[in-house]
């Protein structure tokens, strides 16, 4: 052991007459440890929130999205999806249609981002199947099973109400067919003048219509006299008039050709180069928050209004269509659960009158490779398409989170800076107290560098001990939060416990920062000790 470390460690030990220095040393160690603990815990909790948010975003959205550079519809979306599957690392590809709509129920309305999805492929690019709490994704294609369950539920509810109100069993069990209480049907209403019942005349056959004044029969005008002769013909007996079709509709008429419409199969709609499956009553999968806001459940009908309508005399006319709620999902993000809805891509194409798809979404086998996959797809497909990875699509959100973590790191570092002032004060007091010992060391040959290293060693020991103490306390608190956890109201915070994600790189940076700040705090007191003149230290001895 060099004499610098030996002397420095002796100076750290308390003596009977230097209790104040020892207390300040403990305060400095505790300050450094507290700062390190706070930094580790706060950064780990913020990392947990970021990780939870990232997993929710990647669960609801794809890793890579391909769109036209001018954001126009993609009629070749199905072909692009098949080509994207050939790239290395691409696990799934699916076309989609997305647009803003207004969804209204009997009690409320809300603006929603409606997303048309391919029912067969969406499971390869999204976690929507795992997020659905009630209903099924297959109901977007066929909801007959759901409607049977809804009708059975309504029947059971009606029978429960009927039994509670003690309705007569002679009446039908359908809703609305029985009286509110037991008993016979009410008797016919009596005549207002007498007690006899009212009798309605029986009309055996329709007679001539009497005149309102004289009772004479009304004579209807002859149709042949009121219509042009070219449009009125008679049958063979010349009795019953027959209205003829205008010349433009007659067989062989020239100058009027009806357009030939494409013949589609039942339940199909042609959109550009693709043929989507459609249904008579399209289904809708909505988030839990949106379902609560609209006060709807499985089987309820809502109206979806889109501004993509026709042009009328007064301007654009919005298009509206009824949808049936066939599923409710919970993604873990309020923004998605309150503002997003899903339907079959064919029903979305018919609602928006869309030629093709909005784009193609891809999922990578490893989320960390999504940026490289997006770059390779961008280079292969050229400038015609715009390829975005999940970080680019959510750049503003993640930039705000990153900036917030940096700000918290800087703010909490001030705790370590405050502790460093305690190190400075302690070392200055030691230099003043040990002036005689410093003079003796210099008089027997100690150099200025050696004197500086004595006090630097003291500050470095304080920083290392404080950092290790803070490291142990911070990791212990993070372990407690991860294993036991602090319960939170999931309805408010969307998480049941406080999330924690310990990043080893950040922990190492915090410890290193604490040691460096502690070391820098020793420079000024060490320099003052090295400048001490031995004569001044021994003058009064």
Q: Are strands 301-312 and 315-329 parallel, antiparallel or unpaired?
A: antiparallel
**85 and 46 within one domain:** no
3-state secondary structure 269-338: EEECCEEEECCCCCEEEEEHHHHHHHCCCCCCEEEEEEEEEEEECCEEEEEEEEEEEEEEECCCCHHHHH
**539 exposed, middle or buried (CB, 10 Å; 0-12, 13-18, 19+)?**
exposed
145 close to 127: Cβ distance less than 8 angstroms: no
Position 33 in a domain: yes
Position 468 in a domain: yes
Q: Which pLDDT score, from 0 to 100, does residue 199 have? A: 54
Write out the two tokens for 123: 């499971």
Better-predicted residue by pLDDT, 311 or 220: 311
Q: What is the mean pLDDT of residues 189-203?
A: 49
**163 and 277 within one domain:** yes
* pLDDT higher than threshold 60 for residue 350: yes
Position 218 in a domain: no
| pLDDT, tens digit (0-9, with 9 covering 90-100), for 418-454 | 888 888 888 888 888 778 888 888 878 888 888 888 8
- Give the residue among 422, 409, 523 at the shortest CA–CA distance from 466: 422
**405 and 337 within one domain:** no
- From residue 43, give the alpha-carbon distance in Å to each of 36, 368, 419, 465: 11, 21, 20, 21
Query: Domain range for residue 100?
Result: 74-167+265-357
Please provide the average confidence, as pLDDT, over all residues in the chain. 77
- From residue 536, give the alpha-carbon distance in Å to each of 18, 114, 441, 450, 502: 22, 84, 13, 19, 53
Torsion angle (degrees, nearest 10) of CA 489, 492, 497, 502:
-160
What DSSP character marks residue 487? B
Q: What is the mean pLDDT of residues 192-213?
A: 49
Number of domains composing the chain: 2
**50 and 152 within one domain:** no
Position 249 in a domain: no
Q: Which pLDDT score, from 0 to 100, does residue 114 have? A: 93
85 close to 365: Cβ distance less than 8 angstroms: no
301 close to 282: Cβ distance less than 8 angstroms: no
What DSSP character marks residue 244? P
Picking from 299, 329, 357, the residue at the C-terminal end of a domain is 357
Position 324 in a domain: yes
**53 and 121 within one domain:** no
**31 and 93 within one domain:** no
* pLDDT higher than threshold 50 for residue 457: yes
**448 and 301 within one domain:** no
**Residues of the chain above pLDDT 90, percent:** 19
Reported as type and span, the H/E element at residue 95 is strand 90-104
Position 282 in a domain: yes
**505 and 430 within one domain:** yes
**373 exposed, middle or buried (CB, 10 Å; 0-12, 13-18, 19+)?**
buried
Picking from 357, 389, 422, the residue at the C-terminal end of a domain is 357
Position 316 in a domain: yes
Position 90 in a domain: yes
SS3 content of the chain, % helix, strand, coil (to 5): 50, 20, 30
**407 and 307 within one domain:** no
| pLDDT, tens digit (0-9, with 9 covering 90-100), for 234-282 | 444 544 444 444 444 444 444 444 444 343 344 444 444 455 555 568 9
**What's the predicted TM-score (pTM) here?**
0.65
Write out the two tokens for 254: 């020239």
Question: In whole angstroms, what is the distance from residue 443 CA to residue 536 CA?
Answer: 12
Beta bridge partners of 328: 134, 286
- Give the residue among 388, 389, 534, 520 at the shortest CA–CA distance from 448: 534
**148 and 78 within one domain:** yes
**136 and 15 within one domain:** no
**508 and 406 within one domain:** yes
Q: How many CB atoms lie within 10 A of CB 155?
A: 13
């Amino acid at each position: 052991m060099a004499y610098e470390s030996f002397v420095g460690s002796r100076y750290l030990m308390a003596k009977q007459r230097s209790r104040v220095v020892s207390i300040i040393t403990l305060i400095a160690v505790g300050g450094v440890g507290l700062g390190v603990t706070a930094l580790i815990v706060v950064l780990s909790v913020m990392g947990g929130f970021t990780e939870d948010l990232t997993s929710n975003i990647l669960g609801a959205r794809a890793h890579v999205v391909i769109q036209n550079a001018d954001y126009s519809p993609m009629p070749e979306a199905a072909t692009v999806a098949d080509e994207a599957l050939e790239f290395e690392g691409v696990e799934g590809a699916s076309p989609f249609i997305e647009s803003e709509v207004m969804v209204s129920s009997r009690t409320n309305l809300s603006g929603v981002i409606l997303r048309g999805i391919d029912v067969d492929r969406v499971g390869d690019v999204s976690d929507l199947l795992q997020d659905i709490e009630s209903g099924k994704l297959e109901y977007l294609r066929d909801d007959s099973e759901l409607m049977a369950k809804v009708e059975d539920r309504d029947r059971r509810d009606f029978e429960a109400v009927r039994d509670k109100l003690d309705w007569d069993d002679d009446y039908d069990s359908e809703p609305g067919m029985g009286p509110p209480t037991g008993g016979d049907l009410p008797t016919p209403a009596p005549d207002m003048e007498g007690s006899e019942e009212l009798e309605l005349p029986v009309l055996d056959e329709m007679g001539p219509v009497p005149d309102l004044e004289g009772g004479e029969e009304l004579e209807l005008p002859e149709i042949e006299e009121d219509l042009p002769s070219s449009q009125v013909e008679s049958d063979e007996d010349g009795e019953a008039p027959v209205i003829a079709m205008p010349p433009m509709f007659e067989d062989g008429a020239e100058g009027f050709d009806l357009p030939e419409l494409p013949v589609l199969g039942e339940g199909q709609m042609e959109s550009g180069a693709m043929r989507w499956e459609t249904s008579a009553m399209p289904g809708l999968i909505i988030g839990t928050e949106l379902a609560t806001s609209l006060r709807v459940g499985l089987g309820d009908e809502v109206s979806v209004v889109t501004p993509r309508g026709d042009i009328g005399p007064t301007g654009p006319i919005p298009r509206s269509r009824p949808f049936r709620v066939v599923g409710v999902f919970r993604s873990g993000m309020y923004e998605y659960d309150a503002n997003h809805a899903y339907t079959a891509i064919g029903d979305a194409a018919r609602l928006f009158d869309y030629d093709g798809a909005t784009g193609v979404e891809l999922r990578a086998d490893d989320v960390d490779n999504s940026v490289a996959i997006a770059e390779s797809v961008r280079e292969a497909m050229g400038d015609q398409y715009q390829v975005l990875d999940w970080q680019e699509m959510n750049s503003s959100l993640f930039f705000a989170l990153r900036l917030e973590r940096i700000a918290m790191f800087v703010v909490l570092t001030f705790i370590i800076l405050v502790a460093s002032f305690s190190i400075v004060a302690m070392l200055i007091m030691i230099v003043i107290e040990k002036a005689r010992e410093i003079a003796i060391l210099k008089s027997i040959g100690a150099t200025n560098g050696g004197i500086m290293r004595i006090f630097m060693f003291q500050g470095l020991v304080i920083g290392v001990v404080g950092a290790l103490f803070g490291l142990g306390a911070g990791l212990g608190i993070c372990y407690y939060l991860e294993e036991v956890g602090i319960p939170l109201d999931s309805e408010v915070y969307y998480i049941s416990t406080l999330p924690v994600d310990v990043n080893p790189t950040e922990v190492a940076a915090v410890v290193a920062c604490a040691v460096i700040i502690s070391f820098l705090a020793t420079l000024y007191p060490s320099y003052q000790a090295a400048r001490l003149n031995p004569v001044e230290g021994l003058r009064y001895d």
